[in-house]
């Protein structure tokens, strides 16, 4: 299938029109979710032609989406070889989990001081949806929802900078688990842990909330058997077709 021109003559000068930016965003969002869901595993070759054909866009638009993912440390470029889903070394994995521990301890401790009854209800409703999705056996949706629990809490805490940073750390956690975990888990998160976190928030106890999230993150880290071999890979088209 031939790739489209997309009217990108102005792209070389650094400008995207609204229609083009929407196409870039669509590809970025699809690939971001596939990485977050641990379907695009580290080391996967990201063919511009294959992605362009799947989304019916030009290579220029695909390249813009890949560049955006590169700035988020999710894609790496190798000289004369193209783009790949980024790999994470064992030391980088430890650093990511250390950073998440610091950031989320602060987020949840702060949230415990300001959380409203309405927010407790919203977090509890989200946990209920996590249980429902888990029962359906949709592992991809379960992984995405488990990450959303953390992002929802971060937004409630009211520090936008920490919330944006956490989103990046969560996506990098998914890279780590995609590369190193056994793949035998329904999601990144233990739902009993999420329930315990909500309980600490409901008590408006900052110290207990901080301890609960740190305990939870160590459960997540335990899934990352960082010395084991990489997991097998599926075809790029098979993975991205559900997000296209």
pLDDT tens by residue, 163-215: 999 998 998 888 888 877 655 554 557 778 999 999 999 999 999 999 999 99
Mean pLDDT, to the nearest integer, of 143-148?
Answer: 90
Between 16 and 134, the more confident residue is 134
Least confident of 6-15, 34-43, 191-200: 6-15
Most confident of 2-6, 149-153, 171-175: 149-153
User: 69: buried, middle or exposed (CB in 10 Å: 19+, 13-18, 0-12)?
Assistant: buried
| Tokens at 52, concatenated | 């362009």
CB 27 within 8 A of CB 166: no
* CA pair distance 27, 63, nearest whole angstrom: 10
CB atoms within 10 A of CB 192: 10
pLDDT value for 11 = 43
Name the residue range of residue 47's domain. 9-87+230-240
CATH at residue 203: 1.20.120.530
CATH at residue 73: 1.10.10.10
pLDDT value for 15 = 55
Same domain, 45 and 60: yes
Mean pLDDT, to the nearest integer, of 74-80?
Answer: 93
């Amino acid at each position: 299938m031939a790739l489209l021109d997309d009217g990108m003559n102005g792209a070389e000068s650094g400008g995207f029109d609204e229609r083009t930016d929407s196409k870039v965003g669509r590809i970025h969002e699809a690939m971001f979710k596939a990485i977050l869901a641990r379907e695009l595993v580290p080391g996967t070759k990201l063919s511009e032609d294959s992605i362009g054909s799947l989304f019916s866009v030009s290579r220029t638009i695909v390249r813009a989406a890949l560049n955006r993912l590169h700035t988020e440390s999710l894609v790496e470029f190798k000289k004369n070889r193209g783009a790949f889903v980024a790999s994470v070394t064992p030391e980088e994995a430890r650093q990511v989990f250390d950073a998440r521990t610091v950031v989320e301890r602060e987020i949840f401790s702060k949230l415990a001081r300001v959380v409203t009854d309405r927010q407790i209800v919203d977090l509890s409703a989200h946990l209920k949806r996590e249980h429902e999705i888990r029962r359906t056996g949709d592992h991809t949706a379960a992984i995405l929802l488990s990450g959303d629990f953390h992002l929802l809490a971060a937004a409630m805490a009211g520090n936008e900078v920490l919330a944006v940073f956490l989103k990046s750390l969560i996506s990098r956690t998914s890279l780590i688990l995609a590369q190193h975990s056994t793949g035998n888990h329904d999601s990144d998160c233990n739902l009993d842990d999420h329930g315990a976190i909500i309980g600490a928030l409901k008590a408006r106890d900052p110290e207990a909330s901080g301890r609960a999230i740190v305990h939870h993150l160590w459960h997540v880290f335990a899934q990352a058997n960082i010395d084991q071999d990489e997991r097998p890979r599926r075809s790029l088209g098979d993975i991205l077709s559900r997000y296209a």
